[in-house]
Amino acid sequence: MVKKSKENQQASMGVNPPEQATEMVLEPGSSAARLPSLAQALLCFAGIITAIAGGLFGLGISLHALMFLCIIWTSLHAFLLGYRYLELRTMMSGAISRALPAIYIFILIGMVIASFMQAGTIATLMYYGLAWLSPTLFLAIGMVLCALMSVATGTSWGTVGTLGVVFIGLGEALGVPLPIVAGMIVCGATFGGNLSPISDTTNLAAMSAGTDLYRHIYSMLYTTVPAFLIALVIFLIVGFSYEASAPVTTEIEKIRDALTASYSLQPFITLLPLLTLAVLSARRVSAEVTMSASVLLATVIAISYQGTDSITALNALWQNTPGSTGIENLDNLLGRGGIASMSWTLLLALFALALGGLLHGARFLDVMLSGLLLRLRHVGALVATTIASGLVGNLAMGEAYISIILNCQLFKAKYESVGLDPAILSRTVEEGSTMTTGLIPWTTAGAFYTATLGVPVLDYLPYAFFNYLNAFVAIIMATLGLGLLGYRKIANA
């Protein structure tokens, strides 16, 4: 345990502290408290899974309330190990502070979505994107369009909430089973959530693993692109079993006419915010600056080009309002975005981060996996274990953010000891955490996708090919020694 002067801490914030005030700052494993036994670690972990799964589905309890109970449960276990309140609070605060950069981006995502809606950027993408659709190629083209949108906006949630809703309506008109359509949407949306430089999970994984953002994205290309192409071929084959029909063409034209009636859709103007995102990201400008510049430009376009009232445009950054196309579903999706729209998930993420801080600080996960880590000698086995750990983290905590942070902390030393690039760790953690979060009903992503698309997670799960194929591709490539960024095995690692 390390003691840090609270006087110095408060002085740096411009506060005059009382005399002799001190506060403990806990480093993981530095407390005099004892390590948990394997039995206690398993009991604590099992209690979390039982509380979330049973409370959410069996009793219908709010996920936020369940996370609070899980924090109390874990704190009691830590207290029995000898940790005291200030130590527990420091564990939770430390986990939240380490994720602050991702939280800033998370807030900005809400403003990006809202400003792009107001500027007509999303409407333009939908208008021209829908023109590419062919009924027999509906699934394959839909997956590509969702992938492009998620890369451009950096949010799988925003993609599901916009194009995803449109594709659900089109799929229903075409006669394609909605679970297949929802699986296609989740595949495309997740692709951008992994690779976009303005994605919150992408930035969080790179930051947690200690690697450069663009090095992380480069590493992701090795496994993500092959898995995406395999899934695309599958959807292409499946799509040919559904014949063309007039209703879907009529529905597409109806949506496109409604968009042109409500927005000015000159792409050289409305797509400028998106171009700004792409250019600044390519120049490796920080995500916060890139997104802020795009929001400001989109707001200017909304006011000067779309004719939106300045007060309405600025208020939309906090909470957007539904569109006025006359099509209810379309109006609802065009009204998405704003900081307020992210509050449910942001608050849940804070709970998850606090819980993860306790699990890490009191070393429950360390104890559960330490014996296993010592036995891992082959890179393929290490990658498979990391992916499995990410899945288990999502199952236990219902949130990819904390799973990413915990697994990077848990496996970082092992990856360093065997000579693997930190970008391999960040990539593998994303493949276990980000890729699987939408496949679990009680995660925030799973709950959001179900509520937005109207299709239960367990119904679309078999068709989310990309999400689970990515893990198999990663494990196979690691086993064969492919895509490891110049890895050279260290003897006796």
Q: Does residue 370 have a pLDDT over 80?
A: no
In contact, 441 and 456? CB cutoff 8 Å: yes
Q: Does residue 236 have a pLDDT over 70?
A: yes
pLDDT of residue 4: 42
Average pLDDT value for the chain = 79
Global pTM reads: 0.66
Task: Determine the Cα–Cα distance for residues 37 and 362; give it in Å rounded to an integer.
Answer: 11
pLDDT of residue 329: 65
Q: Look at 36 and 18; give whichever has higher pLDDT.
A: 36
Task: Determine the Cα–Cα distance for residues 294 and 272; give it in Å rounded to an integer.
Answer: 8
For residue 303, give Cα distances in angstroms to 118, 138, 313.
9, 35, 7
pLDDT of residue 2: 39
Q: Poorest-confidence range of 217-226, 282-291, 454-463?
A: 282-291
In contact, 107 and 347? CB cutoff 8 Å: no
Segment 303-310 long-range contacts (CB within 8 Å, at least 24 positions apart): 305/119, 305/120, 305/264, 305/266, 305/269, 305/270, 306/118, 306/119, 306/120, 306/263, 306/264, 308/118
- In percent, how much of the chain has pLDDT > 70? 81
pLDDT of residue 11: 39
The tens digit of pLDDT for each residue in 309-357 reads: 889 889 988 888 777 776 766 777 677 778 887 777 678 778 877 887 8
The tens digit of pLDDT for each residue in 161-201 reads: 667 877 876 777 667 888 999 999 999 999 987 887 767 78
Average pLDDT of span 137-166: 80
pLDDT of residue 20: 36
Tokens of 62: 């709010």
Average pLDDT of span 107-114: 81
Residue 90's identity, in one-letter code, is T
Average pLDDT of span 26-50: 74
pLDDT of residue 373: 66
Tokens of 115: 């400003």
pLDDT of residue 7: 39
Q: Does residue 306 have a pLDDT over 80?
A: yes
Average pLDDT of span 41-51: 84
pLDDT of residue 183: 94
Task: Determine the Cα–Cα distance for residues 399 and 320; give it in Å rounded to an integer.
Answer: 25
Q: Look at 405 and 91; give whichever has higher pLDDT.
A: 91
Task: Determine the Cα–Cα distance for residues 185 and 191; give it in Å rounded to an integer.
Answer: 10
The partner residues of 22 in beta bridges, in order of sequence, read 5
Neighbouring CB atoms inside 10 A of 140's CB total 21
pLDDT of residue 8: 42
Average pLDDT of span 132-160: 80
The partner residues of 23 in beta bridges, in order of sequence, read 4
Residue (of 207, 103, 191) closest to 154 by Cα position: 191
Q: Look at 316 and 254; give whichever has higher pLDDT.
A: 316
Q: Does residue 441 have a pLDDT over 50?
A: yes
Neighbouring CB atoms inside 10 A of 235's CB total 24
pLDDT of residue 471: 92
- State the SS3 of the chain: CEEEEHHHHHHCCCCCCCCCCEEEECCCCCCCCCCCCHHHHHHHHHHHHHHHHHHHHHCCCCHHHHHHHHHHHHHHHHHHCCCCHHHHHHHHHHHHHHCHHHHHHHHHHHHHHHHHHHHCHHHHHHHHHHHCCCHHHHHHHHHHHHHHHHHHHCCHHHHHHHHHHHHHHHHHHHCCCHHHHHHHHHHHHHHHHHHCCCCHHHHHHHHHHCCCHHHHHHHHHHHHHHHHHHHHHHHHHHHCCCCCCHHHHHHHHHHHHHHHHHCCCCHHHHCHHHHHHHHHHHCCCCHHHHHHHHHHHHHHHHHHCCCCCHHHHHHHCCCCCCCCCCCHHHHHHHCCCCHHHHHHHHHHHHHHHHHHHHHHHCCHHHHHHHHHHHHCCCHHHHHHHHHHHHHHHHHHHCCHHHHHHHHHHHHHHHHHHCCCCHHHHHHHHHHHCHHHHCCCCCCHHHHHHHHHHCCCHHHHHHHCHHHHHHHHHHHHHHHHCCCCCCCCCCCCC
Average pLDDT of span 388-397: 81
Task: Determine the Cα–Cα distance for residues 123 and 145; give it in Å rounded to an integer.
Answer: 13
pLDDT of residue 464: 93
Task: Determine the Cα–Cα distance for residues 276 and 15; give it in Å rounded to an integer.
Answer: 40
pLDDT of residue 198: 67
In contact, 427 and 183? CB cutoff 8 Å: no
Average pLDDT of span 60-81: 87
Average pLDDT of span 66-84: 89
Task: Determine the Cα–Cα distance for residues 471 and 218; give it in Å rounded to an integer.
Answer: 17
The tens digit of pLDDT for each residue in 4-33 reads: 443 343 433 333 333 333 333 344 445 567
Average pLDDT of span 200-205: 79
Q: Look at 482 and 169; give whichever has higher pLDDT.
A: 482
Task: Give residue 420's Cα distance to chain centre.
Answer: 24
Task: Determine the Cα–Cα distance for residues 320 and 340; give it in Å rounded to an integer.
Answer: 9
Average pLDDT of span 387-391: 89
In contact, 341 and 158? CB cutoff 8 Å: no
Task: Determine the Cα–Cα distance for residues 361 and 196; give it in Å rounded to an integer.
Answer: 31
What torsion, rounded to 10 degrees, do the Cα atoms 383, 387, 388, 390 define?
140
Task: Give residue 311's Cα distance to chain centre.
Answer: 31
Q: Look at 27 and 484; give whichever has higher pLDDT.
A: 484
Q: Does residue 221 have a pLDDT over 80?
A: yes
Q: Look at 263 and 135; give whichever has higher pLDDT.
A: 263
Most confident listed range (96-100, 127-131, 170-174, 474-478): 474-478
